[in-house]
Amino acid sequence: MHMPIRNAAKAIILDNGRILVNRNQNSVGDMCYGLKNGDIYFDLPGGGQNQYETIEDALKRECIEETGYAVRIVRLCAIYEEISLNERFRAEYEQYAHKMHFVFRCHLTGETGPLSEEKDLDMLGSEWVPVEDVKELPLYPLRIRDHIDALLCAEAPMYLGSEFVE
The mean predicted confidence, pLDDT, of the chain is 91
Question: Please, are residues 32 and 89 in contact by the beta-carbon 8 Å criterion?
Answer: yes
Q: Which CATH class is domain 6-165?
A: alpha beta
Residue 118's pLDDT is 58
Q: Check whether 115 has a pLDDT greater than 80.
A: no
What average pLDDT does range 144-150 have in this prediction? 95
Q: pTM score, two decimals?
A: 0.91
pLDDT band at 157 (very low <50, low <70, confident <90, very high): very high
Domain ranges of the chain: 6-165
**Tens of pLDDT, residues 95-110:** 889 999 999 999 999 8
| Per-residue confidence band for 3, with pLDDT thresholds at 50, 70 and 90 | low
Give me the phi and psi of 149, to 5 degrees please: -65, -45
- Percentage, residues of the chain above pLDDT 70: 93
Return the minimum-mean-pLDDT range out of 17-26, 56-65, 89-98, 134-143: 89-98
Which pLDDT band, with edges at 50, 70 and 90, does 114 fall under? Answer: low
pLDDT of residue 76: 97
pLDDT higher than threshold 70 for residue 87: yes
Lowest mean pLDDT among 34-38, 113-117, 145-149, 154-158: 113-117
